[in-house]
Amino acid sequence: MDTIDGAVRVVDLPLIQATPEALAPFGQILGSAAGVKPVPVDFYKGRVTMRYPVDFTCDHPVAVTLATVDPRPPEVRYMERHFQHTQTFIPLGGKPFVAVMAPPSDGDLPDLSQVRAFLFDGSAGFTLHLGTWHEFPFAVEDGTDLIVLLSTQTGYDLHQRDAATEEAAGPDLDKKDIHRRTGTLFRFQAP
């Protein structure tokens, strides 16, 4: 529901359970619940099952990072998208988290009517489609560890951050202050 807090348009996002169907416009579920059929690997007499649950692409070397995330206010001011890789988040330890996303768009900003908040139970991660708008995941519990697969170019692009707006842009990254540009602040109720 939309409310007005001063000159700010606040959009309260309901939490949507992250399922392959719900996430389809934004990316792919990375986990056994993705419903992806196994491929045969006969070296281990059926003791190893392999699947290809997501399509990961990257135009640059891939950085495998570990982010430890603690709860922060459930508000989305910034959203970003990537043009050269399909960023991936993989939870460790089974802790739940929330990811806020909007589908890829042709314009300079996400379609604000399409912003969604997804609740992940910690048993699966996700891979974003190229160009999917998103904010870094929100922890529900202290010490939530996420493996993040991303392009090394993203780090270079983040270092090009504008000192006044804190927006950043480069060949891979387009990070915008949605609140400043549109007067809209997205929030969700922490589980």
Over the stretch 69-115, which tens digit does the pLDDT of each residue have?
999 999 999 999 999 999 999 999 999 999 999 999 999 999 999 99
β-pair type (97-102, 75-76):
unpaired
Tell which residue, 18, 10, 24, has the closest CA to residue 54. 24
Domain count, the chain: 1
Q: Does residue 130 carry a pLDDT above 80? A: yes
Tell which residue, 140, 3, 169, has the closest CA to residue 80. 169
pLDDT digits (tens, 9 = 90+) for 10-62: 999 999 999 999 999 999 998 876 677 777 777 777 777 778 888 889 999 99
Look up the domain containing 91 and give its range: 2-188
> Under DSSP, is residue 136 helix (H, G, I), strand (E, B) or coil?
coil
| CATH number of the domain enclosing 181 | 2.60.120.480
